[in-house]
Amino acid sequence: MFTGPLEPIDANRWRIPKSYKQGMRVDGLIYANAALIEAIKSDRSPEQVANVATLPGIVKYSLAMPDIHWGYGFCIGGVAATDPENGGVISPGGVGYDINCGVRLIRTNVKLKHAEKRIERLVDALFDSVPCGVGRGGRIKFTPAELQRLVSEGSPFVIRRGLGWESDVYTTEGGGRIAGAMPEYVSPTAYQRGAGQCGTLGSGNHFMEVQVVDHVDDPKAAAVMGLEEGLVTVLIHSGSRGFGYQICEDALMELRDVPRKYGIDLPDRQLVCAPVNSPEGQRYLGAMRAAANYAWCNRQIMTHLAREVFSDVFGRPAEDLGMGLVYDVAHNIAKMEPYDVDGRQVELCVHRKGATRAFPPGHPELPDKYRSIGQPVLVPGDMGRASYVLVGRPGAMEHTFGSCCHGAGRRMSRGAAIRASKGRNIRRELLNKGVVARARGRTGLEEEQPDAYKDVVEVVGVLHDAGIAAKVARLRPIGVIKG
């Protein structure tokens, strides 16, 4: 339970003043409404917001999005920008273990009324085709030399191998690649773990969902994205698998004595860090970027597998089914980005852990297709209720370093969710709601049951009302695959 100060700024923002804890350089700022803030207090994640505010070079404030919950070092939903020219640091805890875990949305021309009788067959085929579960390998293999190219070049590399469409590059954040990856900084153990996992879903909260657009809030933006009520879509949530996990593990070991070397005093050892411009900081950034590129390739290959399955089930080429990529957004990543700080343009290191970009209309990094409406923002909810598509708004650039939340956010630990499922049949409960669910793990559905998550309607409402991102469409799940 967090017992420190939480001062209301307005209906959607709460301040932890920097006077709360010795060493805080900036205020903490949590985005939440009155109902959400009561739940947020219960897991001490606000304490992590305060801890992050002590990092050298942090700019403006330590942020948390409305999906905030306890994480390693940083809370999940945490955002922090540091200035490398002012001693700013990079912290693996501000990125997370699953580097570039992210979400991508694929639209189709298929109407639900034409697909209802094939949903079970479709879900079973996706479950058979897309490897999921702990340690599961993929059917598409890469040689060691190819793997080094893959982590350097990102999703364009696998698309050139026929595992996607050229248009996918333009609707993936950053073109599916982050420059500056350093494959030579990746350990042999990480390469060994990642060798057979590209193109696999993994376990935990990773999923592939077949959904239907069941409500449109912004018809103009929805039309630009190719979304309309009644259309079937696919949402994929996964990251860099064992490859990224090992890179984070290696970095935490390598950096454990670095704060002392640079005279950095930390309130929590999990915030281990290095100055961005130090050799240690550059080494972690190079390896982290390699993992980010791996993750984009991972989701790209699963997109290819999903298109193959849809083509087989509906008896038409994926192109005829209109299976274009709407967008792919990364969370669990750190990027160098320019922002206005006290009237001058500064290149900041923006940590987003369980948070995504939400760039507004006109932003230079947006593809031409979305320049007029803003960046598509994808916020998964839970497998029994809904997910949302939004677009970035100017308020994100002004207040949150172009960021918003990455999902509804857990309100129960996995253990608590399993205990709450005792005596229940979660698969049957989902089916009664019209959701066909498959899971590889024995407790996958129990861990991820809808009650384990906050209500996405509340979470998205905060983003919308605060002017960070605006609602475009709601997606209702009809088929779910879990690891």
Element (H, E) at 125: helix 119-129
User: Is 400 exposed, middle or buried, given 0-12, 13-18 or 19+ CB atoms closer than 10 A?
Assistant: buried
Q: Catalytic: which of 69, 237, 406, 464?
A: 406
Pairing of strands 61-69, 27-31: parallel
Q: Report pLDDT digits (tens) over 161-210.
A: 999 999 999 999 999 999 999 999 999 999 999 999 999 999 888 999 99
**pLDDT averaged over 10-residue windows placed end to end, the chain, 483 residues:** 94 98 98 94 94 98 97 97 98 98 98 95 96 77 94 98 97 98 97 94 92 98 98 98 98 97 97 98 98 98 98 98 98 96 94 98 97 98 94 97 93 86 87 90 81 90 97 97 87
Phi, psi of 197, deg, nearest 5: -105, 0
3-state DSSP assignment of residue 100: coil
Q: Which of 445, 440, 441, 447 is nearest to 477 (CA)?
A: 445
Q: Reply yes or no on whether 406 is catalytic.
A: yes
Residue 451: C-alpha distances to residues 68, 203, 214, 417, 433 (Å) = 16, 19, 21, 8, 14
pLDDT at 135: 65
Q: Describe the strand order of the beta sheet including 76-82 as a list of residue ranges.
A: 7-10, 13-16, 27-31, 61-69, 76-82, 344-353, 333-341
Q: Which of 363, 362, 359 is nearest to 376 (CA)?
A: 359
Q: Report pLDDT digits (tens) over 122-159.
A: 999 999 999 887 766 778 889 999 999 999 999 999 99
Pairing of strands 436-439, 469-482: parallel
Q: Helices (DSSP H) in 262-352: which residue ranges?
A: 279-314
pTM for the whole thing? 0.97
Distance of alpha carbon 219 from alpha carbon 478, whole angstroms: 22
Domains of the chain plus CATH, in order, are 7-482 (3.90.1860.10)
pLDDT at 461: 96
Return the bridge partners of 189, or none: none
